[in-house]
Amino acid sequence: MQEFLRKDLVYKVSSILLAFLLWFYVTNLQNPTIDKTVSVPVVYNGLKQGLVTGEKPSNIDIKIKGPSSVINPLVSKDIKAIVDLSQAKMGESSYPVQVTLPSGTELISIKPAASIKLQIDAITELQLSVKVKTINAVAQGYSGYDPVITPSRVVVRGAQQLLSSLEYAQVTMDLNGATDNLALSLPVNLVGSGGAQIPTNDLEISPKTVQVFVPVIQNIPTKTVPIKPTLVGKPAQEWQVSRIVIEPETVKITGGYDMLTKIESIETQPIDITGLQEDLVVQVGLTAPEGISTLYEPVVKILVQVEEAPVTKTFSEIPLALENQTPGTKVALNPEIIKLTLKGSREEIGTIKDNDIKALIDLKGLGVGTHNVEVKIGITKNLQVLKVEPAKIDVTITADSGG
């Protein structure tokens, strides 16, 4: 047996080696090792609630190598690129990209880098007013008037650092030779300092679109007048109207020159406030006099704010106290008590005590004799002094004889 193995040993070894080389050659010729660069989407996982990332790359280039039979059919979904943000804290830091490759492949490089620098910030909200940018013009012989925007403000939510660069929100309306009123729903864009457009990829805008109405009419006589609310009824007992807010505050009207000169305001349709005990928000139309037309029919938003009506109370026997009396003198007051009428909230008026009111006579600089001195009132609560009776009293100062 040993003799058989030793016989032609060189030839046998050579044959095995040649077979291996042939196999290796054929394998590499048919399925060579190659490399490939694939653009892979980056997945950001684990960021804590209330935090947000600033600008971040959505894709990275991953270069890998392996047998052509494995590499050639590869697409982006076959490779995973994940950034773990579960331990992320506010501020700027670099976070490694964790790459998962298909079996039989090897990572060569990650571009632009194997880690991504991110700015982690707190999520905040900001209200921005909406401005309308118009392009082109209405038709010749027509005029376009101030746009009406609904809503006139939007809320932007995102990283505090991004929000700090915002100035206002903007929509763009193309007047495009219009001969009639324009009413469009337009997407909201964000504008930063210097009028630069701010990308909205990492920001949330609510609402994303606003309604814009531009009145377009032929060039005829017009006038802008204030809008006055027409209130019907009265609030609940012991309540009163404290404030009325109108949006918009004015309207543009048209008509004959003689009629326009007589019109100073346009009233709303009646707003019933009977028994009102809380703020009321309504939308009402306008009532134009005969011969007068509004350039458009706006829906006017009215806010009627109410508050508890103040009450009054009279205190009939308030004693007078002296201050700055000169030693060695006697003082006689006529009268020695006064009547005081106060106004304020029902709660404060109801809880006021005698020691909350001070009626003082200041004797500073007064010598012997009779003087007519004004009564000074001091109150610890937020109340209004309506009346002091009498407002001045006679003060007689005499020398104290001591016995």
Residue of higher predicted confidence among 339 and 9: 339
Residues 133 and 198 occupy one common structural domain:
yes
Confidence (pLDDT) at 281: 92
Q: What is the pLDDT of residues 160-219, one digit of tens each?
A: 878 888 999 999 999 999 988 999 999 999 999 888 888 887 788 999 999 999 988 877
Q: Which of 96, 182, 176, 188 is nearest to 139 (CA)?
A: 176
Cβ-contact 300, 246 below 8 angstroms: yes
List Cβ<8 Å contacts ≥24 apart for 274-283: 274/232, 274/233, 274/234, 275/233, 275/235, 275/236, 276/233, 276/235, 276/236, 276/239, 276/304, 276/306, 277/235, 277/236, 277/239, 277/306, 278/306, 279/303, 279/304, 279/305, 279/306, 280/304, 280/306
Residues 188 and 271 occupy one common structural domain:
no
Residues 158 and 132 occupy one common structural domain:
yes
Domain boundary among 218, 248, 273: 218
Domain boundary among 308, 341, 371: 308
Strands (E), 260-356: 266-272, 280-284, 286-287, 292-294, 300-308, 311-323, 329-334, 337-344
Residues 102 and 174 occupy one common structural domain:
no
CA angle 35, 36, 41 (to 5 degrees): 145
Residues 71 and 26 occupy one common structural domain:
no
Residues 201 and 234 occupy one common structural domain:
no
- Number of other CB atoms surrounding residue 288 within 10 Å: 17
Residue numbers of the domain that contains 299: 222-308
Confidence (pLDDT) at 124: 86
Residues 204 and 244 occupy one common structural domain:
no
Q: Which of 160, 166, 164, 154 is nearest to 205 (CA)?
A: 154
Mean pLDDT, the chain, whole residue set: 86
Q: What is the pLDDT of residues 125-151, one digit of tens each?
A: 899 999 999 999 999 878 888 899 999
Distance CA 227, CA 116 (A): 57
Confidence (pLDDT) at 207: 94
Confidence (pLDDT) at 346: 79
What is the total count of domains within the chain? 5
Residues 131 and 163 occupy one common structural domain:
yes
Residues 268 and 319 occupy one common structural domain:
no
Residues 172 and 213 occupy one common structural domain:
yes
Q: What is the pLDDT of residues 358-372, one digit of tens each?
A: 889 998 888 889 999
- Number of other CB atoms surrounding residue 221 within 10 Å: 11
CATH assignment of the domain containing 325: 2.170.120.30
Residue 98 DSSP label:
E
Domain boundary among 49, 79, 113: 113
Of the listed ranges 3-7, 19-23, 72-76, 140-144, the least confidently predicted one is: 3-7
Write the CA distances from 41 to 58, 84, 93, 120, 400, integer angstroms. 6, 14, 20, 20, 99
Q: What is the pLDDT of residues 186-196, one digit of tens each?
A: 999 999 988 88
Residue 287 has pLDDT above 70, yes or no: yes
Residues 263 and 283 occupy one common structural domain:
yes
Confidence (pLDDT) at 297: 66
Q: What is the pLDDT of residues 235-265, one digit of tens each?
A: 988 888 989 999 889 998 888 778 888 888 9
SS3 breakdown of the chain: % helix, strand, coil, rounded to 5? 15, 55, 30
Strand 286-287 vs strand 266-272: parallel, antiparallel, or unpaired? antiparallel
Distance CA 319, CA 396 (A): 17
CATH assignment of the domain containing 256: 2.170.120.40
Residues 154 and 180 occupy one common structural domain:
yes
